[in-house]
Each structure stands twice: as C-alpha cells, then as structure tokens.
C-alpha cells in the first residue's frame, strides 16, 4: 500500500516536472529592442533616396557609436535570439575594419543556426567584405566597388572555385546574375551622368 502511494506521488511529481520544463522551453525569448533600434538607425542612414546629399561624415560618427554599443552588448551577453545576432551583424558589416566583418560573419552563423533566414545573405556578404579588405578575391560576388567617382561600380574579383549552388543556399545571386547586375549598374551610372536634354532645351529658350 505504501509502495503504491509512493509510486503515485513520484508519478505526480514527474508530471509536474515535465509540464514545468515544457512551459519553460515553450516560452519564446524576446528580441532585444535596443539592437532592433540600432539596426533601424543603421538602415535609415543608408536609405537610397538623396544619397548624393547625405552627410557621410555625420553617418560615420553615428556608425562608430552604434558599433561600440553593439560590441558592448555582445560582451555582456545581450544577444539571445536569431534577429538579435542578425541586427548586430548588420551594424558591424558597416564598420571600417576587417576584424569587424569577420565578427559579423560569425554572428550570422549563429543567427542562421537560430533560424534567422535573413542572415544567410549577410553571412556571404560579410565574408566577402572581409576577404576583399585583406587583399583576396571575394567568394560569393556580393560586393561591387568603384575606384573613382567618375567610374561605375564594378564586381570585385570573385573566386572562380565557389559553385553557384552555395550562392543559392545563401540566398545570393548566381555569378552570372551578379555580372548582369554589374552591367545594369554601369548603364544606370552612365544614364545619371548624361546631360538632361529637356533641361538643356529649356535653357535654350
């Protein structure tokens, strides 16, 4: 009789423990609101509208402050969710040092492991940026650069050994698509430099 009561009690305790553990596991972690804000500010500073009139010196100052804060948050363990790691990586992607791009890539790896799909492209872009900055060809073809203000952006040298299958897995355009994008960028660049014919006719009048 006592044995039966003991087994019933253990079963009840075990059920409670399972319910409690399940409840804890099911409780989702909240994304870090400060990291989200820093990410939004980073993206706002790169809004494609009015790029020519942007005060890039002021943007660089804001970038530096954001990068310092993100590194503080990484150091104190404030990153928890996939979006947290992705937001931090994007901020560091715009830092000036190769080590920051490498850290951004590592953050993307964690973000992907946590189910953050957006981090796939950024993982490729951050390692490409790192490689270019240490004098090596990029692997995935995410980076375009212009050496002079009067020259259109060009696709930076790409490692030919990287297959398109890897690009597709990381949500990156194929090499052929990147080359086509280069041509489109060149056309857009040339079009932006052509004189405005309608404006010229207005002036002639």
Q: What's the pLDDT band for 28 if we cut at 50, 70, 90?
A: low
What pLDDT sits at residue 198?
52
Q: What's the pLDDT band for 191 if we cut at 50, 70, 90?
A: confident
Which of these, 152, 177, 162, 151, lies nearest to 128 by C-alpha position? Answer: 162
DSSP SS3 for 33: helix
pTM recorded for the entire structure:
0.78
Task: Tell me which range, 17-31, 169-183, 184-198, is most confidently predicted by mean pLDDT.
Answer: 169-183
Taking 3-state DSSP, the helix, strand and coil percentages for the chain, each rounded to the nearest 5, stand at 65, 5, 30
Round to whole Å and give the CA distance between 79 and 82: 8
Round to whole Å and give the CA distance between 146 and 37: 30
Burial label for 27, CB within 10 Å (0-12, 13-18, 19+), is exposed
- Percentage of residues in the chain having pLDDT higher than 70: 81
Round to whole Å and give the CA distance between 96 and 190: 29
Average confidence (pLDDT) over 2-26: 42
Predicted confidence (pLDDT) at residue 201 exceeds the cutoff of 60 = no
Predicted confidence (pLDDT) at residue 180 exceeds the cutoff of 50 = yes
* Predicted confidence (pLDDT) per residue in 109-128, tens digit: 999 999 999 999 999 999 99
What pLDDT sits at residue 3?
43
């Amino acid at each position: 009789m006592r044995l039966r009561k003991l087994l019933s009690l253990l079963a009840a305790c075990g059920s409670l423990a399972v319910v409690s553990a399940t409840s804890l596991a099911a409780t989702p972690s909240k994304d870090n609101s400060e990291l989200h804000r820093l990410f939004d500010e980073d993206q706002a500073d790169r809004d494609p509208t009015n790029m020519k009139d942007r005060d890039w010196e002021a943007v660089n100052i804001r970038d530096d402050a954001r990068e310092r804060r993100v590194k503080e948050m990484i150091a104190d363990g404030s990153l928890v969710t996939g979006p947290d790691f992705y937001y931090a990586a994007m901020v560091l992607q715009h830092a000036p040092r190769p080590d920051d791009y490498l850290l951004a890539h590592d953050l993307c790896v964690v973000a992907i492991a946590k189910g953050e799909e957006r981090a796939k492209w950024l993982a490729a872009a951050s390692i490409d940026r790192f490689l270019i900055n240490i004098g090596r060809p990029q692997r995935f073809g995410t980076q375009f650069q212009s050496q002079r203000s009067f020259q259109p952006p060009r696709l930076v040298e790409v490692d030919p050994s990287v297959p398109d299958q890897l690009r597709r897995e990381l949500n990156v355009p194929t090499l052929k698509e990147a080359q086509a994008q280069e041509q489109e960028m060149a056309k857009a660049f040339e079009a932006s430099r052509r004189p405005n014919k309608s404006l010229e006719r207005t002036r002639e009048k």
